Amino acid sequence: MSLNNAMLEKYRNNFLQEVAGNVEQGDWVKMCMQCGVCAGSCPLGDAWEHSPQKIFMMIRANRREQVLSSDSMWMCTSCYHCVVRCPRGLPIPHIMHGLASYAKRLGLAPKSNPTLWFAEVFWNNMLKKGRVNELKLGLSLYFKDGFASGIKQAMAHQKLGINMLKAKRMAPMDMFAGHAIKDIFGLHKMIRKAQEIEAAKLEANSK
Protein backbone atom coordinates (compact mmCIF):
# COMPACT_ATOMS: atom_id res chain seq x y z
CA MET A 1 0.00 0.00 0.00
CA SER A 2 1.28 3.47 -0.83
CA LEU A 3 2.16 5.75 2.06
CA ASN A 4 -0.69 8.03 1.03
CA ASN A 5 -3.26 5.22 1.20
CA ALA A 6 -1.84 3.97 4.48
CA MET A 7 -2.20 7.44 6.00
CA LEU A 8 -5.74 7.81 4.61
CA GLU A 9 -6.65 4.46 6.09
CA LYS A 10 -5.16 5.24 9.46
CA TYR A 11 -6.48 8.75 10.02
CA ARG A 12 -9.79 8.33 8.19
CA ASN A 13 -11.61 11.58 8.76
CA ASN A 14 -9.15 13.28 11.03
CA PHE A 15 -6.75 15.24 8.88
CA LEU A 16 -5.93 17.57 11.79
CA GLN A 17 -4.56 14.59 13.68
CA GLU A 18 -2.65 13.41 10.63
CA VAL A 19 -1.04 16.84 10.29
CA ALA A 20 -0.24 17.02 14.00
CA GLY A 21 1.42 13.63 13.90
CA ASN A 22 3.34 13.83 10.63
CA VAL A 23 3.96 17.41 9.53
CA GLU A 24 6.79 19.59 10.80
CA GLN A 25 5.36 21.68 13.69
CA GLY A 26 1.93 20.39 12.64
CA ASP A 27 0.62 20.13 16.20
CA TRP A 28 0.52 23.94 16.24
CA VAL A 29 -2.32 24.04 13.70
CA LYS A 30 -4.96 23.57 16.39
CA MET A 31 -3.74 26.79 18.04
CA CYS A 32 -4.85 28.98 15.11
CA MET A 33 -7.73 31.30 16.07
CA GLN A 34 -8.47 32.45 12.50
CA CYS A 35 -7.59 36.11 13.02
CA GLY A 36 -6.11 36.47 9.52
CA VAL A 37 -3.00 38.46 10.42
CA CYS A 38 -0.85 35.92 8.54
CA ALA A 39 -2.96 36.33 5.41
CA GLY A 40 -2.58 40.10 5.55
CA SER A 41 1.14 39.94 6.23
CA CYS A 42 2.25 37.64 3.43
CA PRO A 43 4.25 39.45 0.73
CA LEU A 44 2.89 37.03 -1.88
CA GLY A 45 -0.65 37.25 -0.55
CA ASP A 46 -1.96 38.09 -4.01
CA ALA A 47 -0.25 35.12 -5.59
CA TRP A 48 -1.77 32.22 -3.77
CA GLU A 49 -5.19 30.70 -3.56
CA HIS A 50 -5.14 29.72 0.11
CA SER A 51 -3.63 31.90 2.83
CA PRO A 52 -2.15 30.14 5.89
CA GLN A 53 -5.35 31.08 7.72
CA LYS A 54 -7.42 29.27 5.08
CA ILE A 55 -5.06 26.30 5.02
CA PHE A 56 -5.42 25.91 8.78
CA MET A 57 -9.22 26.02 8.56
CA MET A 58 -9.21 23.59 5.64
CA ILE A 59 -7.11 21.18 7.71
CA ARG A 60 -9.73 21.25 10.43
CA ALA A 61 -12.48 20.80 7.86
CA ASN A 62 -10.77 17.65 6.53
CA ARG A 63 -10.09 19.10 3.10
CA ARG A 64 -7.11 16.78 2.89
CA GLU A 65 -6.60 16.53 -0.84
CA GLN A 66 -7.33 20.20 -1.43
CA VAL A 67 -4.72 21.19 1.14
CA LEU A 68 -1.99 18.80 0.06
CA SER A 69 -2.41 19.55 -3.63
CA SER A 70 -2.48 23.32 -3.08
CA ASP A 71 0.37 25.36 -4.52
CA SER A 72 0.00 27.92 -1.74
CA MET A 73 2.57 26.42 0.62
CA TRP A 74 5.10 26.54 -2.21
CA MET A 75 4.68 30.32 -2.36
CA CYS A 76 6.25 30.79 1.08
CA THR A 77 9.37 32.95 0.69
CA SER A 78 10.35 32.30 4.33
CA CYS A 79 10.18 36.01 5.11
CA TYR A 80 8.85 35.30 8.63
CA HIS A 81 6.48 38.26 8.67
CA CYS A 82 3.60 35.99 9.70
CA VAL A 83 5.53 34.30 12.46
CA VAL A 84 6.48 37.48 14.29
CA ARG A 85 2.98 38.89 13.96
CA CYS A 86 0.91 35.81 14.84
CA PRO A 87 -0.72 36.55 18.21
CA ARG A 88 -0.65 32.86 19.05
CA GLY A 89 2.99 32.42 18.05
CA LEU A 90 2.42 29.71 15.43
CA PRO A 91 5.61 28.86 13.50
CA ILE A 92 3.69 29.39 10.26
CA PRO A 93 6.56 29.19 7.73
CA HIS A 94 7.65 25.86 9.19
CA ILE A 95 4.12 24.50 9.03
CA MET A 96 3.92 25.64 5.39
CA HIS A 97 7.27 24.01 4.62
CA GLY A 98 6.18 20.91 6.49
CA LEU A 99 2.89 20.64 4.60
CA ALA A 100 4.68 21.17 1.30
CA SER A 101 7.27 18.47 1.88
CA TYR A 102 4.68 16.07 3.34
CA ALA A 103 2.52 16.60 0.24
CA LYS A 104 5.53 15.93 -1.96
CA ARG A 105 6.38 12.76 -0.09
CA LEU A 106 2.82 11.46 -0.50
CA GLY A 107 2.90 12.31 -4.21
CA LEU A 108 0.12 14.90 -3.93
CA ALA A 109 2.08 18.13 -4.45
CA PRO A 110 1.41 20.09 -7.66
CA LYS A 111 3.96 18.58 -10.02
CA SER A 112 4.53 21.57 -12.27
CA ASN A 113 5.12 24.06 -9.45
CA PRO A 114 8.35 25.96 -10.22
CA THR A 115 9.41 26.32 -6.58
CA LEU A 116 8.98 22.59 -5.96
CA TRP A 117 11.18 22.00 -9.00
CA PHE A 118 13.75 24.57 -7.90
CA ALA A 119 13.87 23.23 -4.33
CA GLU A 120 14.75 19.81 -5.71
CA VAL A 121 17.42 21.13 -8.08
CA PHE A 122 18.89 23.22 -5.26
CA TRP A 123 18.98 20.30 -2.81
CA ASN A 124 20.68 17.98 -5.30
CA ASN A 125 23.13 20.68 -6.39
CA MET A 126 24.11 21.52 -2.81
CA LEU A 127 24.39 17.90 -1.72
CA LYS A 128 26.62 16.80 -4.56
CA LYS A 129 29.73 18.56 -3.24
CA GLY A 130 28.40 19.78 0.11
CA ARG A 131 28.30 23.35 -1.15
CA VAL A 132 26.19 25.14 -3.76
CA ASN A 133 27.56 25.37 -7.28
CA GLU A 134 25.91 28.63 -8.33
CA LEU A 135 26.96 28.39 -11.97
CA LYS A 136 25.33 24.99 -12.45
CA LEU A 137 22.31 26.11 -10.43
CA GLY A 138 21.87 29.13 -12.69
CA LEU A 139 22.23 27.05 -15.84
CA SER A 140 19.67 24.50 -14.61
CA LEU A 141 17.25 27.40 -14.26
CA TYR A 142 17.85 28.55 -17.83
CA PHE A 143 17.56 25.03 -19.22
CA LYS A 144 14.50 24.12 -17.16
CA ASP A 145 12.22 23.93 -20.19
CA GLY A 146 14.63 22.23 -22.57
CA PHE A 147 17.65 23.05 -24.68
CA ALA A 148 16.24 25.55 -27.17
CA SER A 149 14.50 27.56 -24.50
CA GLY A 150 17.65 27.39 -22.40
CA ILE A 151 19.80 28.91 -25.12
CA LYS A 152 17.21 31.66 -25.55
CA GLN A 153 17.19 32.33 -21.79
CA ALA A 154 20.97 32.34 -21.62
CA MET A 155 21.14 34.79 -24.54
CA ALA A 156 18.56 37.05 -22.93
CA HIS A 157 20.61 37.12 -19.72
CA GLN A 158 23.96 37.38 -21.48
CA LYS A 159 24.67 40.89 -20.23
CA LEU A 160 23.92 39.93 -16.65
CA GLY A 161 26.23 36.94 -16.94
CA ILE A 162 29.08 39.01 -18.36
CA ASN A 163 28.64 41.62 -15.64
CA MET A 164 28.69 38.95 -12.93
CA LEU A 165 31.87 37.48 -14.47
CA LYS A 166 33.52 40.90 -14.56
CA ALA A 167 32.63 41.53 -10.92
CA LYS A 168 34.12 38.10 -10.08
CA ARG A 169 30.75 37.00 -8.74
CA MET A 170 30.51 34.10 -11.16
CA ALA A 171 33.26 31.62 -12.00
CA PRO A 172 33.25 29.76 -15.35
CA MET A 173 35.58 27.10 -13.95
CA ASP A 174 32.79 26.06 -11.58
CA MET A 175 31.39 24.16 -14.57
CA PHE A 176 34.21 21.65 -14.07
CA ALA A 177 35.40 22.07 -10.51
CA GLY A 178 33.67 24.35 -8.03
CA HIS A 179 33.81 24.46 -4.26
CA ALA A 180 33.56 21.17 -2.41
CA ILE A 181 33.90 19.90 1.14
CA LYS A 182 36.55 17.31 1.99
CA ASP A 183 34.43 14.82 3.91
CA ILE A 184 31.75 14.46 1.26
CA PHE A 185 31.58 10.73 2.02
CA GLY A 186 30.74 11.42 5.67
CA LEU A 187 28.20 14.07 4.71
CA HIS A 188 26.40 11.70 2.36
CA LYS A 189 26.37 8.94 4.96
CA MET A 190 24.96 11.38 7.51
CA ILE A 191 22.18 12.52 5.17
CA ARG A 192 21.29 8.93 4.24
CA LYS A 193 21.02 8.06 7.92
CA ALA A 194 18.83 11.10 8.63
CA GLN A 195 16.58 10.17 5.70
CA GLU A 196 16.32 6.58 6.93
CA ILE A 197 15.35 7.63 10.46
CA GLU A 198 12.74 10.04 9.15
CA ALA A 199 11.27 7.56 6.67
CA ALA A 200 11.08 4.85 9.33
CA LYS A 201 9.15 7.16 11.66
CA LEU A 202 6.68 8.09 8.96
CA GLU A 203 6.26 4.44 8.06
CA ALA A 204 5.64 3.50 11.70
CA ASN A 205 3.16 6.38 12.04
CA SER A 206 1.18 5.10 9.08
CA LYS A 207 0.42 1.82 10.82
Partner 1 sequence: MAKFEYSYYPGCSSQTGASSSNLMRSVDTMCEELDLKLNPIPDWNCCSASIGYGSGNVLPRLSLSARNIALSEQHNPNQDIVATCAACWLSTRETAERLHQDENMFKDVNTALAEARLTLTNKTPIRHMAEVLIEDVGYESLARGVKKPLQGIRIAGYVGCQTNRPFGIAGESFENPLYLDKLVESLGGDSVPTYEKKVQCCGGALAFSEPEKSQAMIHGIIEAAYDNGADMIVTPCPLCQTNVEIYQDVINAKFGSKFEMPVVYYSQLISVAYGRNSKDAALDGQLIRAKKLESFAG
Binding footprint of partner 1 on the chain (CB under 8 A):
24, 43-44, 47, 74-75, 77-81, 83-85, 97-98, 100-101, 104-105, 114-120, 122-124, 126, 130-132, 134, 141, 159-160, 163-164, 167-171, 173-174, 179, 181-183, 186-187, 189-195, 197-198
Nearest to 44 by CA among 78, 82, 75: 75
Q: How far is the CB of 30 from partner 1 (least distance, A)?
A: 18
Nearest to 174 by CA among 138, 124, 127, 123: 138
CA distance 78 to 95: 11
Question: Cβ closer to partner 1: 20 or 170?
Answer: 170
Question: Cβ closer to partner 1: 62 or 139?
Answer: 139
Q: How far is the CB of 186 from partner 1 (least distance, A)?
A: 3
* Residue 107 DSSP one-character state: T
Q: How far is the CB of 85 from partner 1 (least distance, A)?
A: 8
CA distance 50 to 72: 6
Q: How far is the CB of 77 from partner 1 (least distance, A)?
A: 5
Q: How far is the CB of 163 from partner 1 (least distance, A)?
A: 5
Q: Where are the alpha helices (DSSP H) in the chain?
A: 3-11, 15-22, 37-41, 52-60, 64-68, 81-85, 92-105, 114-129, 134-142, 147-156, 158-166, 184-205
Question: Cβ closer to partner 1: 8 or 100?
Answer: 100
Question: Cβ closer to partner 1: 58 or 137?
Answer: 137
